[in-house]
Structure 1
């Protein structure tokens, strides 16, 4: 096949694709008949219990007289309320990513000496193999940074003489290296793409060992390496809030499933990256930002509640933006009354909005956050409450930090690699059985037909 035609969809492919769709369609009524929990969730949104974890807990309801009563969302890392964790490092004026990484991996918050030693360990691992940037990242740069990140992770396998060793000390070593290297792989991948595709100047800044993970991201991303204290602290907060979210989220469950097969760490992480890339998972905040861009261009008066409400109803009626019928950033698979990560974010977002002179946009976000749940409840049959999720504000934060859209999902990955690592170690420690749920076949049995007799 000619290289120029490698991406071309021919009429033959269209015909074959129609056959694929026709043979793949399943009567929706059969899911009810056989009590299939689509998405491993029941009709009320409660997840099917598939495992146990000691890493984090998501609380969205309380049990009163055997009834599930929705409550304000809570998130616990190793049993500690995320709100208390954030208050702790913010009050003491330090960055939280490194100490929360320690907490998730080892089960306890570090003391000062442990934190210092661990931070130095991460800094020492923040070094790519010789010529890796030139030979791997700079070659065939991809328009999608998640694909670039996955390719880099799989290539690191070739540089690891113990790549197949799945003992816990080796997996921990591999995990710490990837936690340290994800910012470099992501940002360098973007710099290469920006240079070769967009013709921009190429900047490859070396990380600084004395800087935090959040500071290093801004340092290696920006041409002048400059950033404000508030910018670095808000990016650090974003990383902490995205680090972990239970074993059932799509990418972390992927970590468990793939790890249960006994495969290597690099393959496991690459699979989880593929999951996180999806717009229904890690790519959701990009949709929120683009939706608001359309909203700002469409609505004349951003403070007019009636005009904003009409736009939101048009979204639900598939008459606005991408006509998908969704208000992006609203609702969550688990939370109902509130997402604690969104609540934590909002207070700090207002401060950054003020610093960046974007308070009018912040006011619009706040208005949509207030109006959308009511409008969704009026327009849709829902089984639990709807509230803003963490993606609602994170994209706005990243845009104020001047992070390119291409890096929105990789920033998520830079944080979530910590949770994946903790869950992989947990699976390898407690596993033994390969994860294999059941699928019921609904195919009609039919006899084999010889080639000469087929129509």
Structure 2
């Protein structure tokens, strides 16, 4: 092992160790002294309806406020972009700086970022058999299948699993090996994603890693897309990194890891959840809808009048406006706003963006007048596909893979802390429909 790697590892990992040791007494005290304190009640509607709004998960990585939007480690998206060290020549932070921040909650110095970048590069070498596994799949397999299979195939590399079976497993030290797996995974997954893109859509012609670039710039380089796609990548991966623990990809990853499965098992499962049309696949579906919407205008230049009519026609036909509304948010998604600001600066005349922008101007008012939407504001998916399309990534099936690269950051930070705090296996209690009917007749559960 090189001296550089030892130095880098001791810096971030030692900082994280100090954070964990200071945090553990807080969790222990809550369990010991206040474990019976009631923090929520569960209704029949919540039991049947997917446990919506049941407060039963703990994470300090991010929090989603209905009116404020996502906060990463207590900071809003604008604060994160403003405070984290920037990539050279960029207005956006490096993904490596954000990874340090997610793990520790601290804004890293430039020297600390450079240490993480050096270690990231040492960890990003993907075993050759991963590419063999992907090539063994039918080439028309969905790219999310390829990504999930590629991640899962690396399970044989798991340091956590090797430690668990070593005969010296210690619950208080388990996080160190989960951290190793998590760091390896976030460093390698962009390499795998770029390989899948070039394999499926660019005649299997690949672009090698540039060791001089940060993660976002290197991803753009391997994709074969010039500036400012490096900033698109940095922005996109940070914005999609985490969204509390209750969303399907984050919750699935946490759930599988709670069984002491390693990061590769856990995140492969999380990716399978992300692939669903009610989760990560939504950005692809929104772009498809926008392009169909554009066709309905019959070549006319979009304006408030014809866009309003088309939106009303959509709603009156019993359809929804994709990209609008959110299960938690009650305002414009700050992730949408961040991407809109990028578009206004870099691609203001893009026809699809101009249409998206007009929809943003008129859709909330129409949805409020229509009266069926709890939240008439756009979410992250209303914007993201348009940016990818503008820069030449026009293979819709690949959009969820991009989401998966970003979501790895938050999920891997979370399961590292899950192990650090010794969270147990997740095991909710089920009830029967007959029980619900009985409690409904009695006005609630009596015992």
TM-score grouping bracket, smaller chain normalisation: 0.7 to 0.9
What CA deviation, in whole Å up to 9, does each residue of 1:56-83 have, x standing for no partner?
12222xxxxxxxxxx4x23221122221
Segment of structure 1 superposing worse, 82-91 or 121-130: 82-91
Q: How does 1:149-298 map to 2 (within 5 A)?
A: 149-160=147-158, 163-165=161-163, 167-194=174-201, 201-222=203-224, 227-228=226-227, 230-298=228-296
Deviations 1:194-213 (A, max 9, x none): 3xxxxx53212221121122
Looking at structure 2, the residues matched to 34 and 51 of structure 1 have their Cα atoms a distance apart, in angstroms, of: 19
Gaps in structure 1 of 5+ consecutive residues: 1-30, 42-46, 61-70, 195-199, 320-324, 445-455
* In 1: Cα distance, 2:47 partner to 2:330 partner: 23
Deviation at 1:34, TM superposition (A): 6.9
The equivalent residue for 2:51 is 40
Structure 2: unaligned runs, 5 residues or longer: 1-41, 165-173, 436-447
Of the three residues 339, 348, 358, the one matched with 2:342 is 348
Q: SS of 2:69's equivalent?
A: strand
The aligned counterpart of 1:326 is 320
TM-score, normalisation: structure 2: 0.79
Cα deviation code 1:408-452 (max 9, x no counterpart): 1111111110100111122223344322223322369xxxxxxxx
Which residue is equivalent to 1:82?
77
Counterpart CA distance in 2 for 1:130 and 1:434 is 33
How far did 1:172 drift? 0.9
Q: Distance in 2 between matches of 1:240 and 1:154?
A: 23
C-alpha change, 1:50 and 1:164, in structure 2 (3 Å) is: farther
Residue 430 of structure 1, aligned match among 421, 425, 428: 421
Higher share of residues assigned helix: 2
> Displacement, 1:345?
1.4
Aligned residues: 379
RMSD: 2.4
Report if aligned partners of 1:302, 1:364 keep a CA contact under 8 Å in 2: no
2:354 is aligned, of 363, 386, 391, to 363
Output the TM-score relative to the length of structure 1: 0.77
Residue 147 of structure 2 is aligned to residue 136 of structure 1: no
Superposition deviation, residue 255 in structure 1 = 1.8
User: Could you tell me which residue of structure 2 aligns to residue 57 of structure 1?
Assistant: 63
- Equivalent position of 2:102 in the other structure: 104
Alpha-carbon distance between aligned partners in 2 of 1:385 and 1:284, rounded to the nearest angstrom? 17
Contact 1:146–1:409 (CA under 8 A) maintained in structure 2 = yes
1:372 correspondence with 2:372: no
Quick one: distance in 2 between partners of 1:119 and 1:286? 31
